[in-house]
Amino acid sequence: MPPTRPEQRWAVAAALPWAVWAAVRGTGTERGFPLVPALAFTPYAAATAVLPLAAAVRARSLTGALLSAAAGASLGVAVRAARGEPPAGPAPAGTRLRIATVSLRLGLVPAEPVVEFVREHDVDVLAVQELTPDAQRRLAAAGLDRALPHAHVVPARPGSVASASGAVWSRWPITGRGLLPGGFEQPTVRLPGGAGPDVEVGAVHTRPPSTSPAAVRGWAEDLADLPAPDPSVLRVLAGDFNATHDHAALRAVLRQGYRDAARAVGRGRAWTWRPLRLRLPRLVLDHVLVDPRLAVTGCATVPVTGSDHRSLVVDLVLPRG
């Protein structure tokens, strides 16, 4: 066997970060900081996996080429699976419900674009994150209460930042109000489901895992505490999960029985967050998870002036009876 040249050893070493990334993503074993926030960048790892492969080919390193190709293929499959597939066949008949999300960026998003967004897209239910008392007053003055006359607003608890508040505004009458457990306020509302079960919509906002090991623990607790689908209601969880499909903690929520609305129409990789002053990175942090009995007929991402999140607008059809 001919001796291994230094450039061949370097080619193998260059492939190792992608191979480790693929192994962690494939096994769902990311834990702690900084692994958890890093996994959100898996699409970028998949897109750049060609770099160690090119280096291995140039160095004529079979081991490096195989390692790079395997890592790239594994990451590519994960990215493709998260996209989902568009539905086949016509949309079912039944009562239609349009749910949207909006993140108010610490309450700094102007009220007028939010109300315009609600009216332009004929939103039935709006799940709001990062609300503040001042933002709530401005939304009321801009006419949100007239467009969506029923509301459940949960102020931030004592000791929390003001933007920890959450809310749900609805065109449909609200028959019940509740609260999901978590570090931020996550209100839920019950809406009449007609001949079938009631619809329950929760405004999700998990703590971000991006700064420290303690932040990752809080984020993991928030996701683990989200309720599973319930036969007695048509449950919908909508908002900022601060998680992508590359996180095992979000996939665990989905395994309880939910469908991701974006994936259900082949748009699971449509980005929902990026820094306001930068074009990249673009991450898929916002989701609408729905009871599998609800048909998803559409999902769009819509920019709202002043927000660092793109809002999700999801069209659902309630089951008949």
Give the pLDDT score at 189: 98
| pLDDT greater than 80 at residue 1 | no
Per-residue pLDDT tens over the stretch 128-178: 999 999 999 999 999 999 999 999 999 999 999 999 999 999 999 999 999
Residues, the chain: 321
What is the second-level CATH architecture of the domain 96-317?
4-Layer Sandwich (3.60)
Q: What is the mean pLDDT of residues 185-199?
A: 94
Give 142-151 contacts, CB < 8 A, sequence gap 24+: 142/111, 142/112, 142/114, 142/115, 143/115, 144/111, 144/114, 144/115, 144/118, 144/169, 145/169, 147/115, 147/118, 147/119, 147/123, 147/171, 148/118, 148/123, 150/174, 150/189
State the DSSP code for 164: G
Overall average pLDDT of the 39-62 stretch: 96
pLDDT above 90 covers what percent of the chain?
92
Average pLDDT, the chain: 96
This prediction's pTM = 0.95
Q: What is the pLDDT of residue 148?
A: 98
- What whole-number percentage of the chain has pLDDT above 70? 98
Q: 170 has which bridge partners? A: 125, 150
pLDDT at 209 over 70: yes
What mean pLDDT comes out for the span 285-296? 97
Q: Is 306 exposed, middle or buried (0-12, 13-18, 19+ CB in 10 A)?
A: middle
Q: Where are the domains of the chain?
A: 6-83, 96-317
CB-based burial label for 185 (10 Å; 0-12, 13-18, 19+)? buried
User: Per-residue pLDDT averaged across 307-316, rounded?
Assistant: 98
- How are strands ordered across the β-sheet holding 233-240? 176-180, 186-191, 198-205, 233-240, 286-290, 259-260
**Does residue 3 register a pLDDT over 50?**
no
Mean pLDDT of 108-117: 98
Tens digits of per-residue pLDDT, 214-264?
999 999 999 999 999 999 999 999 999 999 999 999 999 999 999 999 999
List CB contacts of 71: < 8 A, sequence separation 6 or more. Answer: 15, 18, 19, 21, 22, 49, 52
pLDDT at 62 over 60: yes
pLDDT at 307 over 60: yes
CA-based nearest residue to 196, from 321, 95, 316: 321
What mean pLDDT comes out for the span 112-119?
98
- Residue 158's nearest CA partner among 185, 138, 187 is 185
**Nearest one of 313, 306, 314 to 103, comparing CA atoms:** 306
The predicted pLDDT at position 4 comes to 60
Cis preceding linkage at 110, omega within 30:
no
